[in-house]
Each structure stands twice: as C-alpha cells, then as structure tokens.
Structure 1
C-alpha cells in the first residue's frame, strides 16, 4: 500500500522532494508513475526499517491526477501488483521555487510508453519495454556520472535528460532502442559514436550540441524532434533513409555537414540547415516549400535542386554567398529577403513566379538578367543592390508594383 507522510495520496503543485511510504513492500521494487503517456520508473529503498519511493519532482509541475503502479518483475516477466492515484492540488508557484531533477530519477532509463499508432507492426519491441532487465552496474555508473559506454540489448528507450551535459559519455550502442527522449544526450561534448539501428523516434534536442559526433547512421529513424542535431559542429554526414520530414532547426549550426542521405523527404522546417557552412549542394525533389531561414547563411552552398517548390519564405536562402543556381521550375512566391546577399546567384527559374516580395534579391550582385511571364505583384526594393542587373522583363499580367 502506498501513502505519504500524511497517510494519504494528496500533494500540492510545485512540491519538491516528496516520497511515498510503501507498506508491505520490499526494497528494490519498481514503482511506475504514469505522466503524459510516459512511464517514470523509480525504485523503492529502505531507510530506518521503512520502505520508501521518491516521487519525481517533474510530477508536481502541474495539477491533476497521476497514476502509480507497483510493478513486480521475475526474470524477464513482470506485472502490475497495485494501482494508486496521486492527487496534485493546484496552487500558485512559489517565488523561490527551483526545479531539480529527482536524484534517483535516472532510473527512468527503464522505459517510456510508446503509442502503437506510431510504430505499427513493432509490438514485439514495444512489449519488451515492460520486460527489460537491466545491468545494475550500468545503472549505478549512470547515476554516478561515470558511464563512458552506454550498452545493453534490453534498453528499448532512454528518457528525458538522462545524460544532459554529460562530459564522460563517449559511445552509445543500443541495438534495440526505439526512442530517445527530450535532450537525452544534449551537450554530451565527448560523445563520438552512435549505434542505434532500430531507433524510430527522437524527441526535441535529443543529440543537440554533441560537438564530437562526426557521422550519424540512423537508417530506421522515421520521426525526429526539433533541434535533434543542432550545434553538432563536427557532424559531416547523416544517413536518414527512412525520414520523411526534417523538423525545425534539425541541423542548425552543423558547420561541417556536407552529406545528407535520404530518399523521400516531404517537408523541411524553418532554420533546419541554418549556418551549415560546409553544405555545397542540396536536392529535395518532393518538398513544396522552403520555410523561413531554412538554408540561411549556408555560405558554401552552390546549387539547389527543388523542382516541386512553389514558395520560398523570408531569408530562405539568405546569406548563401556561393549560391549560383536554383532549379525550381514551379516557384511562384519569393518571400522577403529570400535571396538576400546571394552574391554568386546567376540563374533562377522565373517562368512561373507571380509574386516577388521586398528585398527578395537584395545584393545579388551577379544577377544580370530577369524575365517574368506570370508576374502579378512586385514589391519595393526587390532588386536593390543588384549592381550587374542590366535587363528586366515584366509581363502585362503585373497588377501591383509596390514602391
């Protein structure tokens, strides 16, 4: 039976460092806290002949109800023995409140519940989440911050923040891991090797600022969170053959990135390749738009093959000083500053362009000629600073010239 020191299961929002008394329960038993479809796993422990379990501080970040289960394991089997419900009563956030990760919270490495809809046909892997048996020595090294090589066939998910800013970790080899949580390995500056062949899903900033990563091979990754590899300054190549959408800032500030292996990218988020200063050419045959600052400041980029793109948002290719040609025959809308400071740009498909917004081609000093057949709107300063421009043709379809 679970209870707090007041002999009930009621707490208050913004509480910290609370624990439950586990009557008639031995130490070392798993206690599962279900929060936002995630399973936070803690272990019971003995203190002064009483058995306790710490409540993760993250549970108190919001009010409401939290399900708690005692989970008994034997070998590779396990089952829930008892269900309780914590009531978190709302209250104002104290002025001196400081959030701290629960010290033994690293045991959340054990699991994160997965939605079957995301991974259809992977039931056997999903089932393994609740059956995993873990190397206690490994867990001890993680808690102590001394883990250099994270390995384990039984580990199927690694929860949020477990290795955040960890400077000891050097390699990850998890052959059955299917999910990496928020900022799980963020800031692991000495992490050099990733072996995650079954990884399907990463949450936000999973590997951000891992500044020693050179190559990434994630052939089964199907869904990635924002900023997944942001700040991985030494990353040269990434194999993401199953990925269909590149999220916001996924490779932001990956200054060494030269190769991205993919097969069917359907969309790319804003800032996705921001300041990727070693990227020389891109080919995305199936995307329909370039969002804000997607390729901003990719100073080595020479060509872009984007045959289905119909719109380029503001600063989409801004600062791409080496960009010479854009293949975008379906392009209709050119946003504000879309090609600003593209000093080498000599060719862009203009036949279907209907709208050119302000400063779209600002300082495109190599552009000598433009010709539009379907232009309807031309905004002010669209070609300001185009010092080599000698010829421009506008059709009768022009409806507005904004000055």
Structure 2
C-alpha cells in the first residue's frame, strides 16, 4: 500500500474517532491472526456485529464471482462488491451473467493502487461509500450521466486524480467525496445539474449556500463566496496547500472536520455570524497559532482544535453566553467543563476549582504538557481526554472522580505511574492503551469490570492484582503486556474475553478460579513461556489437564500453553480444537490428533515454527480456515486407509503415516 495513503488514512480515521484508530491498530493485529480465513472479519471491535447486521439486512443477497468481479444480486440487478483484477485501464462491464450492473458497492475498488483509469458503464446509478478510496494511481474516471448518487469518501486519497466531472444526473453527493486527492485542482459540475454547481473548480450545492468540497490540490488562499451559509463536513479537510481562508459573515455553520489537516493554515477569522463549530473542525492544523470564538457561537463539538501543536490560545469573546476562556483554555460559560486545552502550551497545568468534567479530547495531542493537577470538583474524565499526551509524566486524580472514559490516557507513553482512587467505578475501554512506561497500577476495589484493551500494550507492567469486585476482563485487555509475569484472577471473575492476555511473553502460569463461566478465543495465545493453565477443580465450565485448558468435559481443547515443549498426544475425548489453540507454540515439535477430533478452529496451529509432524488417526477434520498451519514447516501424516485425504490439508503437504513409527 502507498505510504502516503497509509498516513493520510491514519489521520482521517484519527479525526473521526481518535483513539479508535490507535486501539484498532493492536486489535487489528490480534484479530487478523485469530480470525484470518473466517467468513467474517473481527479486525475491529464492531466487525463481527457489523457483519451480522449486514447479513441480516441482506439476507436475500448471495455473493458470486465472475472473472475479476465479486458481486451480489438484488432485485435482478448486480452490485459489484469487490474487484480483484490486475488494474491498469479498467472498463467496468454493464452486465454480469445477464444481470445489469447498477451499483458499485462500498469499498468495491478500495486500495486498488494499480488502477490507472476507470470507465463506469451507463447502467450504474449508485457509487457507494469509499468505492474507489485509496486508488492512488487513478488519474482518470468517467462518471456516466446515469449516476444519481455518489457516496461518502468515494474517491478518498486518489492521489493521481487531477480533475473530475459530475454529470447532470447526480442528485446526491456524500461527505468529502474527493478528500485527500492531493493533485485534484478542479471539480466540474455539468451546468444542467439541478442539485449541484461548481465555481472556480469548487463544489457547491445548486444555490451556493453549502460549500461541499474544496479540491485538495488547489494552493494559496481562498475567499468563500458570501452566498455560503454552511461549510460542509470535511469540506477543506486535508487541503495541505491552503494558506489562508476568508469566511464571510453569511456563514452560520462550520462542519465536522471542515478544516482538519490544513497544515499550512496559519490563521482563521471566525465571523460573528457563525453559531456552530463541529467536531474536530480545525484539528491537526499544524501551524494555527491562535483563534477567537465570537459572541455568536452557541455550539462547539468535541476536540475542535485538537492536535494543533502551535496553538497557544483559544480566546472567547467575553459577551459569549455559552463559552468562556481562561488563559487561552476553552471552557463552557460556567467553567464546569474544560473543552479544549491548546496543544501548543507547554509545562504543567492546574485545572481551576469548580470544573466538574474534563471533556472528550480536551488535552488530546498536548505533547508538551508535563503534569496536570485536577481539583476535587472533577467527577468525570472524558473519552480520549489525555490521548497522545506523550510528555505527561504525572497526573493527580482526586477521589471525587467516578469515571474515566475510553482511551482517556491512551498513548501517554511517558506516564510511569498513576493512582486510581477508590471513588472510580468505571474505567472505559482502552483507557490506558499503550502507556508503555506505566510500571504499576492499583485497580481499586470499586471497579467491577476491566474493558476491552484497557491496559493493552502497557509493556512495562510486571504484575497485576485484580481486586475482588471485578467480574469481567474484556477482549485484549492486557494484550502484549510483555513484562507481565504474574496475574492474580479473583474468585469474583466470571468472564475472560478474547485474547485477554495475548502476547504476555513473560507470563509463566495462570490460575482460573471456579467462578469463571465464559472464556473467549485464545485468551493466552502467544504467551511464549507460559507452561501451565490451571483451572480450579470446582469450576463447572472449564478444566485443565497437564496444564492445558479444556471445556469441562474435555471435548474442546481451548488453549495449549506456548511455553510447553516437545510433542503432545491429544486425548480421545476431544472432538474439537479451538481457534488458535496451539498458535505461537514455537516449542511444539509434533502432535497426534485422534480420530475423535471432527473440527479444527481458525489458525489453530499458526506460527508453530518448529512443528514438523502432525499425525491424524482418522479422517480430515472440518475447518473454515484453509491455512490452519500457516508458517509451520510441518508435514501432515494420516493413517493408512483413512478416507478423505488429499495431497494437502490446511495448506501443508500430506503423507501416509506408518503407525509402527513413533511420532516426533
């Protein structure tokens, strides 16, 4: 993938859900391993859910393939869902197997960097969201006059696209259809179009009241026409060559991410007519130094000026009835909520008395912030509040605080210790994600659950004591806490999520109490020196034998400790090997699988780099993963006379097993 596209895509995602990108970096890496080859992608938290919803919504639609195209049929019309061709000059067919192609589906051509030009047939009426996003080599596209709808970010980051023509037929255009197209200098709308118009290569609605998209390839300053009342979401996003902007006093709304990543925008004057400034409206404007909020503004979204490293002050006009500022910091009028701290300010900061809430993204990206003192009046710390404060060495959380939001301290890589008071009852997902220097933390007894990714990538953790009130540990909660050598799971625990301790490479032993009744996929995978998983004998749902984790009846092998070495013979009671059960067991050299085993989960033996022989006593077990043994040097041996075997199984070659020989 093009490096510039990756970076631009990273920034775009960050803009929308700041932490979510950083969180899903780790979760994607984990899920891509665990669920690779599965029918649904769990690369992000909501992946499986979204997939399930999509299946429910499209229960009558079946995916088929013809040549380079994967498509589905809906009401006797073809929807192209995926292109897998060689690129170059692509002419999309007007019909597939007799069905007219009427829709280019979401992400159908996404990231096809080898495509140079696209001709869309006259049968197409809808171009879906992100349909051609990341086609970095795309320099020409012909949109026919049959198209009525163009989705969100349809041509996002098509770096080579310099010009595009919107035909008369288009009635609907989504958010930032051409955002990140760094060479795009003009968007031309045919004059008879009843819904849209272009002026100077800039896309507007027909009445020029809404500025929809400014081409990212245009350079210099720009004066918005005085007919415009609304600057659409992401209208100027990623316009890195924009050096100045004049907003007329006709404008009342500045949309979400409207000027985000305008890195050469030094100053902006917000007129008295503006009433609304959207989420992340000026985020990542790297050279913005100061901004004044006029009296008229009565609505400001979250993180309006986050990640602006040169911004030292946000000034609110005193007569504004909704907002205020103290020493360049943005608050609500009553100074109960701290909305935005300028990222260009350095040193320490003491939040004023009376503040009860630290808003979402309030200190986001404040890399020069070294310490923070919160007053006793603070009750809540919002989502991503201190996300990316890489210089933050200390923070005092008072015992008035009851909740810490998702990702609140994510990426605070210099933070070595923190005390969570007993007053805290809720810690959000990923709250301390990637706090790489955080050596110890005391989880108060008032906390009842540890969310997804809460301490993921806290690489300096050595031990964790989970208090007796905690009942659940979320997915990848302690992912790659690479120095974690000891963990105590209390008797109150009922649920351990997917990959909860994945990649804890110094963990040697773990005890699962009798109370646990739910364990997710690969909870201890890639724990390279883990020698035993012990389940208390009274547990009604799970058991262990020889340090290996099974369900209670030992019919499913859930997790084999990666620290065990040599060979292993699975018991005849086992009928199923769980997903990623042996994954990363680099010391496993051979394994005998009995005839009782009928199914093997995804990636069950992935990355077993010293596994040379796998011996099957019966017929080949079913599996949804065609590459169960990926990155394993093994040969698959099957019993002479056993039916159903071919030349390969699970991506590895097969051979007949002489059962007189002892397996390795």
Q: In structure 2, what is the Cα distance between the partners aligned to 1:382 and 1:367?
A: 16
Q: In structure 2, what is the Cα distance between the partners aligned to 1:140 and 1:363?
A: 46
CA apart distance, 1:169:
1.1
Aligned counterpart, 1:265: 470
Correspondence 1:215 to 2:417: yes
Q: In structure 1, what is the Cα distance between the partners aligned to 2:390 and 2:297?
A: 41
Aligned length: 312
Match of 1:317 among 500, 521, 524: 524
CA apart distance, 1:230:
0.9
CA contact (8 A) 1:350 1:370 kept: no
Match of 1:156 among 339, 349, 356: 356
CA contact (8 A) 1:12 1:60 kept: no
Q: 1:147 to 1:53 in 2, by over 3 A?
A: farther
Cα deviations by residue, 1:12-36 (Å, 9 ceiling, x for unpaired) = 6427897989xxxxxxxxxxxxxxx
Cα deviations by residue, 1:358-378 (Å, 9 ceiling, x for unpaired) = 8x4386534787887975545
SS of aligned partner of 2:279: helix
CA contact (8 A) 2:388 2:410 kept: yes
SS of aligned partner of 1:304: strand
Cα deviations by residue, 1:94-131 (Å, 9 ceiling, x for unpaired) = xxxxx9669849958535xxxxxxxxxxxxxxxxxx85
Correspondence 1:194 to 2:399: no
Q: 1:191 to 1:290 in 2, by over 3 A?
A: same
CA contact (8 A) 1:202 1:228 kept: yes
SS of aligned partner of 2:369: coil
* TM-score, L = length of structure 2: 0.39
Q: In structure 2, what is the Cα distance between the partners aligned to 1:161 and 1:381?
A: 36
CA apart distance, 1:153:
2.2
Cα deviations by residue, 1:140-191 (Å, 9 ceiling, x for unpaired) = 9847523522332222111122222212211121132122223221111111
CA apart distance, 1:352:
1.9
SS of aligned partner of 2:409: coil
Correspondence 1:301 to 2:507: yes
SS of aligned partner of 2:492: coil
CA contact (8 A) 1:253 1:275 kept: yes
Write out aligned runs for 1:338-377 (5 A). 347-348=547-548, 352-356=552-556, 360-361=559-560, 365-366=564-565, 375=574, 377=576
CA contact (8 A) 1:346 1:367 kept: no
Q: 1:213 to 1:363 in 2, by over 3 A?
A: closer
Cα deviations by residue, 1:257-276 (Å, 9 ceiling, x for unpaired) = 12445331111111111110
CA contact (8 A) 1:19 1:55 kept: no
Cα deviations by residue, 1:229-261 (Å, 9 ceiling, x for unpaired) = 111111011122122111111111111112445
Structure 1: tracts of 5 or more residues without a match: 1-5, 22-46, 62-71, 73-81, 87-98, 112-129, 340-344
SS of aligned partner of 1:58: coil
Correspondence 1:55 to 2:276: yes
Q: 1:309 to 1:369 in 2, by over 3 A?
A: farther
SS of aligned partner of 2:372: strand
Correspondence 1:274 to 2:499: no
Q: In structure 2, what is the Cα distance between the partners aligned to 1:320 and 1:357?
A: 17
Q: In structure 2, what is the Cα distance between the partners aligned to 1:55 and 1:243?
A: 38
Q: In structure 1, what is the Cα distance between the partners aligned to 2:330 and 2:468?
A: 32
CA contact (8 A) 1:20 1:53 kept: yes
Q: In structure 2, what is the Cα distance between the partners aligned to 1:353 and 1:387?
A: 26
Correspondence 1:204 to 2:406: yes
Aligned counterpart, 2:365: 165
SS of aligned partner of 1:250: coil
CA contact (8 A) 2:361 2:386 kept: yes
Aligned counterpart, 2:383: 182
Write out aligned runs for 1:69-80 (5 A). none
CA contact (8 A) 1:356 1:378 kept: yes
CA contact (8 A) 2:524 2:561 kept: no
Cα deviations by residue, 1:185-206 (Å, 9 ceiling, x for unpaired) = 1111111112112222222211
Structure 2: tracts of 5 or more residues without a match: 1-224, 237-244, 251-268, 283-294, 317-323, 600-619, 622-664
CA contact (8 A) 1:362 1:386 kept: no
CA apart distance, 1:400:
4.6
CA apart distance, 1:386:
4.0
Q: In structure 2, what is the Cα distance between the partners aligned to 1:182 and 1:19?
A: 34
Write out aligned runs for 1:75-114 (5 A). 104=314, 110=331
CA apart distance, 1:321:
1.8
Please provide the CA RMSD for this pair. 5.1
Q: In structure 2, what is the Cα distance between the partners aligned to 1:252 and 1:376?
A: 33
Q: In structure 2, what is the Cα distance between the partners aligned to 1:292 and 1:251?
A: 14
CA contact (8 A) 2:496 2:519 kept: yes
CA contact (8 A) 2:535 2:542 kept: no
Q: In structure 2, what is the Cα distance between the partners aligned to 1:271 and 1:110?
A: 35
CA contact (8 A) 1:365 1:388 kept: no
Aligned counterpart, 2:450: 246
